[in-house]
C-alpha cells in the first residue's frame, strides 16, 4: 500500500498570555508528531480534550500552518499546494452538523459550495449534488430545505455529501458523531464505512469515543499533551495496550454490567496545563507506574511488538 498522508515530526506552537499584565508563554499543541496513513485505510486518533487532536486535524487540512516538520499528501508537500489543489484532495467533516452548515442556505447550495469554488457550475453541478445526496441516503426532495428543517443525522449526512462532492481521496473526520444520538451515531458510522469501501477513501478519524474508533479504524494513535504516545493496529492496541495512558483510557470505558459503576483508573479529573508541560515523560505525574527517571528522561518512540510506544517502562 502507498501512503496517503505522511506526518513528519510536525509541531504547532501557539503564543499565549500576551496581555499587559501577563507573561507570554508558548503552547506546543502538537509537539513532534509523526505517523503515516496508508491509502484506503482509516487512522483513529484518540485522547482527552486538550491533547491536540483538533489542532492536528486542522494542520492536515491546511487550515493551520505547521511551526515545524512537514505534511505530505499523496507524496506532495501540503505547504506547496494552493487552496484549490488541497480541496480537491482532502476535505473535512466536523463535529457539529448544525453550526457547520449555513442556516440561510438551501441544502443544494450548501453541497454545491465546493464545486462553485472549483468553477464547476450549471448542469454538472446540479447532477453531482443530486447524486451525492442520494449516495449519502438523502432523498432529492431535501435539496430545497434549510438545515433547521432536518434532523441531526440528516444534517450530518449533508455535511458528508458536501465533503465528498469534489471526489476527494482523503477525509478528516473531527468528532463527526459526538453530537448525535447513539442510534444515529451507528447509522453515520455505517455510512462512512460503506462510502470508504465504495469510493476507496482514506480517513483520519478523530474521537474521544473509544468504541467508535475501534469500530471504524484500521490503526489507532493515542495522543497525550501534543505527543503520540502509542500507535498500533486497532486489534492489537485494544487487546494488548502497551502505554500506561492507553491502558487507563481503555480501563475508563463504561462496562455494560449493572452495579459496577464508573471505574476509577487513577488519572483524576485535572488535565495538565499545556502551557506548563511536565519535564521528562509528560504523563509521569498521572502514571501509576512512574519512577524517578520518568521525571527526568524524555521517552523516545520505539517499536514494541508491533506498537510504536513512547514510554521508558513499557
Instruction: Kindly report the average pLDDT of the chain as a whole number.
Output: 90
Confidence label for 101 from pLDDT (cuts 50, 70 and 90): confident
Say whether pLDDT at 23 is over 70: no
Q: What is the mean pLDDT of residues 66-90?
A: 95
Model confidence pLDDT, tens digit, residues 150-205: 999 999 999 999 999 999 999 999 998 887 888 899 999 999 999 999 999 999 99
pLDDT score recorded for residue 19: 56
pLDDT score recorded for residue 37: 97
Strand, coil or helix: what is 92?
strand
pLDDT score recorded for residue 189: 94
In the β-sheet with 76-77, what is the strand arrangement from edge to edge? 25-38, 3-16, 68-73, 76-77
Q: What is the mean pLDDT of residues 274-288?
A: 90
95-104, 119-128, 212-221, range with the lowest pLDDT: 95-104
**Which grid coordinates are listed for 55?**
489542532
pLDDT score recorded for residue 260: 42
Task: Tell me how long the chain is.
Answer: 314
Say whether pLDDT at 68 is over 50: yes
pLDDT score recorded for residue 279: 93
Say whether pLDDT at 122 is over 80: yes
3-101+168-309: CATH number:
3.40.50.300
pLDDT score recorded for residue 261: 44
pLDDT score recorded for residue 24: 63
Say whether pLDDT at 221 is over 90: yes
Say whether pLDDT at 265 is over 80: no
Q: Nearest-CA neighbor of 69 among 92, 44, 35?
A: 35
Q: What is the mean pLDDT of residues 31-50?
A: 95
Of the ranges 37-46, 94-103, 256-265, the best mean pLDDT one: 37-46
Q: Hey, where are the domains in the chain?
A: 3-101+168-309
**Which grid coordinates are listed for 173?**
473526520
pLDDT score recorded for residue 270: 64
Q: Nearest-CA neighbor of 172 among 7, 1, 311?
A: 7
pLDDT score recorded for residue 114: 94
Which run of H or of E encompasses 33? Answer: strand 25-38
Contact 225, 272 (CB under 8 A): yes
Say whether pLDDT at 257 is over 50: no
Contact 2, 29 (CB under 8 A): no
Percent with pLDDT over 70 in the chain: 92
Which run of H or of E encompasses 236? Answer: helix 234-239
Better pLDDT: 176 or 219? 219
Say whether pLDDT at 52 is over 70: yes
State the Cα–Cα distance between residues 40 and 191, nearest whole angstrom.
16
pLDDT score recorded for residue 262: 41
Q: What is the mean pLDDT of residues 110-138?
A: 94
Contact 69, 11 (CB under 8 A): yes
Better pLDDT: 256 or 143? 143
State the Cα–Cα distance between residues 43 and 281, nearest whole angstrom.
24
Strand, coil or helix: what is 311?
coil
Say whether pLDDT at 256 is over 80: no
Say whether pLDDT at 209 is over 50: yes
Amino acid at each position: 500500500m502507498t501512503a496517503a498522508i505522511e506526518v513528519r515530526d510536525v509541531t504547532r506552537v501557539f503564543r499565549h498570555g500576551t496581555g499587559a499584565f501577563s507573561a507570554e508563554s508558548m503552547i506546543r499543541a502538537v509537539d513532534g508528531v509523526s505517523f503515516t496513513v496508508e491509502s484506503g485505510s482509516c487512522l483513529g486518533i484518540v485522547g482527552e480534550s486538550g491533547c491536540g487532536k483538533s489542532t492536528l486535524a486542522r494542520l492536515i487540512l491546511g487550515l493551520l500552518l505547521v511551526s515545524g516538520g512537514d505534511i505530505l499528501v499523496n507524496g506532495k508537500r501540503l505547504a506547496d499546494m494552493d487552496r484549490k489543489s488541497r480541496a480537491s484532495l482532502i476535505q473535512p467533516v466536523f463535529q457539529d452538523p448544525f453550526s457547520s452548515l449555513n442556516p440561510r442556505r438551501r441544502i443544494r447550495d450548501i453541497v454545491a459550495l465546493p464545486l462553485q469554488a472549483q468553477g464547476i457550475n450549471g448542469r454538472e453541478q446540479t447532477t453531482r449534488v443530486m447524486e451525492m445526496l442520494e449516495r449519502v441516503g438523502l432523498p432529492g426532495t431535501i435539496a430545497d430545505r434549510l438545515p433547521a428543517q432536518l434532523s441531526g443525522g440528516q444534517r450530518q449526512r449533508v455535511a458528508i455529501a458536501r465533503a465528498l462532492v469534489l471526489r476527494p481521496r482523503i477525509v478528516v473526520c473531527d468528532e463527526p458523531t459526538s453530537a448525535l444520538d447513539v442510534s444515529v451515531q451507528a447509522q453515520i458510522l455505517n455510512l462512512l464505512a460503506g462510502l470508504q469501501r465504495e469510493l476507496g477513501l482514506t480517513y483520519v478519524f478523530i474521537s474521544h469515543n473509544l468504541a467508535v474508533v475501534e469500530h471504524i479504524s484500521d490503526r489507532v494513535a493515542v495522543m497525550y499533551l501534543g505527543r503520540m504516545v502509542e500507535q498500533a493496529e486497532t486489534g492489537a492496541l485494544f487487546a494488548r495496550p502497551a502505554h500506561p495512558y492507553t491502558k487507563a483510557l481503555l480501563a475508563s470505558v463504561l462496562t455494560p454490567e449493572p452495579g459496577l459503576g464508573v471505574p476509577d483508573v487513577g488519572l483524576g479529573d485535572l488535565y495538565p496545563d499545556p502551557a506548563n508541560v511536565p519535564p521528562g515523560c509528560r504523563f509521569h505525574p498521572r502514571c501509576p507506574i512512574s519512577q524517578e527517571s520518568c521525571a527526568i528522561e524524555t521517552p523516545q518512540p520505539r517499536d514494541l511488538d508491533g506498537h510504536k510506544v513512547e514510554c521508558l517502562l513499557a
